Amino acid sequence: MRRARVPVALPWLACLLLAWPRRAAADEGGAGFWVPGQVGSFVAQPVAAGWSLPVVYFHADAAAGAEKHFTRGGHIVGGIDDRTDLVYVTPTYTLSRPLAGAQAAASLSWAFGGATSSVSATLAGAGGGTATAGQTGDVTGGCDLAPQLSLKWSEGAHSGMAYVTANVPTGSYDVNRLANLGLHHWAWDLGGAYTYADETRGRELSATLGLTWNAENPATDYRNGIDGHLDWELSKVVSKPLRLGGAGYLYQQLTADTGAGALLGEFKSSAVGLGPEVGYSFQPGARSWDAELKVYWDLAAADRPAGWNLWMSTSIPIGPPGSP
């Protein structure tokens, strides 16, 4: 595929990424549609045409003290300890011919696994009520579906991407359960990404900026506000095919939560994630593979569970070789 010119707006996007404020929001129960840290290296760079299968293992441990209150299942709970283990599979098809001067791709992401959540106490329900002792809940099953469409442009070392994705509420959910794998509401996310890749010097920088709009959860009458998010990654080849670097995320709620179930009001919070990244390229067949490991720690957090999370990913090429 020929390389198209980078849109004029991309330099301004890069400036906005660098200036993005370091705040975040928790959303209903401390979780939203966009999972911070999910975007990795070379996100905006064109790839080989045809089918591929990105596979990602995700682990997260997060907690908040008993003095921190959250809304889950229409109740106010105090103190949370969460553990999540998921495997994401994302069948992706990349067109071989340009669309509007860009490389177009479509994908459908789904995850399966398990989650465990415990709370120190249930303090109140939607209509009031007495406090109860701590509880623990767990779930194993599938998550919501997330289709995505993207367009990529590239010129020299600079690449840009525009994307739109959505949350389709098909995952395991029970309003009375502490741990859930589905959000039980629709969501839409729109954004862009930039990648700088200098192959001569072995340097790479990627950043993704987006906004999430949420529909109401009909089971709890809770609607998350508009969320803004930034994922970034910086790496350098230290000895082919190994590269090392760092990664981070910022996540900010821009408008207040609403609805009868928003018992804690706006429920805004702040957090910053940062950690190391390791990448490794290899070629077991006709097409090359790229594996990546990232670990993030929440350096600062308020009004949301905080801890650490790990991402292990690779993209499996399917079918005959293609060229970007």
Quick check: helix, strand or coil at residue 16?
Answer: helix
Note down the domain range covering 281: 9-318
pLDDT at 106: 98
> Does residue 3 form part of some domain?
no
User: 245 to each of 188, 232, 275, 286, how far by Cα in Å?
Assistant: 31, 11, 9, 27
Total of domains in the chain:
1
pLDDT at 259 over 50: yes
Tens-place pLDDT, residues 113-155: 999 988 887 766 555 554 466 788 899 999 999 999 999 999 9
> Does residue 190 form part of some domain?
yes
Report which secondary-structure segment, H or E, holds 19: helix 9-19
pLDDT at 26: 42
pLDDT at 10: 41
Burial track 257-282 (b if 16+ CB lie within 10 A, e otherwise): bbeebbbeeebbbbbbbbbebbbeee
Tokens 């804690």 correspond to 264
Instruction: For residues 113 and 89, give the distance between their C-alpha atoms in angstroms, rounded to a whole number.
Output: 12
**What are the helix and strand counts (H, E) for the chain?**
1, 15
Tens-place pLDDT, residues 34-93: 998 998 889 999 998 999 999 999 999 998 877 677 777 667 777 788 999 999 999 999
> Does residue 264 form part of some domain?
yes
> Does residue 230 form part of some domain?
yes
Question: Which of 12-21, 205-214, 259-268, 278-287 has the highest mean predicted lDDT (pLDDT)?
Answer: 205-214
> Does residue 102 form part of some domain?
yes
Average pLDDT of the residues of the chain: 83
- Looking up residue 247, the CATH number of its domain turns out to be 2.40.128.130
pLDDT at 128: 52
pTM of structure: 0.85
pLDDT at 229 over 60: yes
> Does residue 252 form part of some domain?
yes
> Does residue 323 form part of some domain?
no
> Does residue 24 form part of some domain?
yes
Tens-place pLDDT, residues 82-91: 999 999 999 9
Contact call for residues 38 and 230 (beta carbons, < 8 A): no
